[in-house]
Chain A
Amino acid sequence: MTTQLWHQVQEYAFLSPSSAALVWLCVTLGSYGIAVRVQILCGRAPWVNPVLLSILTVVMLMFCTGTPYEIYSRSTGMIHFLLGPATVALAVPLAQSIGLVLRSLPAMILALLAGSITSVISGVGLVLLCGGSHDVALSMAPKAVTTPIAIAITQKIGGIASLTAVFAIVGGIIAAMCGEPLLRRFGVHDWRAHGLAAGIAGSGIAAAQIAQRDPVGAAFAALGIGLNGLVTALLVPLLLHLFH
């Protein structure tokens, strides 16, 4: 009796079209809000990443309630849509610290090229060295770029689009978690370098972590995301052509 009632409640809340959108939006916002609180409680430690915690909560709940990803993705389309305006909004910190950006332009271009080439070659190389399949290696090539550009590139070179999306997000989480402590250990105490490295190696997710810490870092991260997208889109087909 009670289990049957529970099943009905579960089906209504998570799967029926009238309530699924509201419930999954609440779950996503709620789990992210709690994850941010947890990070603050841990002294804003970068390795307690709220994106990762929130994704894990959502995936676990999807698994427990038997919700297919299509229903979840349709329900939270509103949040996904805001990614566009939020990317455009990165123009504001960029315009605010343009003086600082222009002053370190030559350094930035060199760092950008070095970082892009390292990411692409080491990504493909490590997969092949460890015995991964060819299309997984191709899907790894553009993973440092922001997700929508990465998908466009991978489709062009014959990788698997959804795999690249996952790699881009997990790579971003790794960069967000390890970036700041690792770079401090290497003696880098400059928000410009931290921001640029986050934007180039970890795109949006690592940039979000830096944006919480410093506005100058946010500006360099925004520039890093945009420029790395441009460079990698040109570089990946060129490098593949050279190796074949």
Chain B
Amino acid sequence: MVQAFFILLFFQFLGTALQDAFHLSVPGPVIGMFILAACLIVRKQYATRRHVRGAGSALPDLVTEQEAIPQDLARVARSLIGALGLLFVPAGAGIAGQFSVLRTNAWPVCVALVGSTLLGLVVTALVMHAMTQGHAPPENLSDNGGQVL
């Protein structure tokens, strides 16, 4: 857990520092996410290449995956993402201070929020769906009913 939090906070700091240095409008944690993902992908590629040269393992995919992403980090990431919803509650409770503005604009705000969000969802998913059909085997929506991540 110590190692994992060190990695996460270090990359968040890296992203925030880059944001401040170059005055970017993308927030630091998101930049940190992209840098960490790039590092993990490079590590994975490196491990795959070494395994191909060695050609000894029966399950190369699984072995390289475990080697590339530290187990500790994977575990902490899984629990943080599993509780992602909780982390939005403090910011969301800020709605308590906005009641007066919301009341005067209630109708346009409701229509725009519901309409625009659903339109965005449907357009994105339908374009993605139309473009990926026939290209790769679709990951069928298996209703596992349990938490995977």
Contacts and interface: CB of A to CB of B under 8 A. Distances in A.
Interface size class of B (residues with CB under 8 A): 35 or more
Contacts of A94: 33, 37
B111 A193 contact: no
A13 interface: no
B55 interface: no
Interface in A214-240: 214-216, 218, 222, 224-226, 229-230, 233
A121 B139 CA distance: 31
A49 B105 CA distance: 25
Which DSSP category, helix, strand, loop or mixed, fits chain A's interface? helix
A127 B132 contact: no
Interface residues of A, number: 126
Given A62-B96, A152-B25, A89 B127 contact: no
Contact of B81 (A90, A194, A229): A90
Interface of A: 28-29, 31-32, 43-44, 49-51, 54-55, 58-59, 62-63, 69, 72-73, 76-77, 79-80, 82-96, 98, 100, 103-104, 106-108, 110-112, 114-116, 118-119, 122-124, 126-133, 136-137, 140, 143-144, 146-149, 152-153, 156, 160, 162-163, 165-167, 169-172, 174-175, 178-179, 182-184, 186-194, 196-198, 200-202, 204-205, 207-209, 211-216, 218, 222, 224-226, 229-230, 233
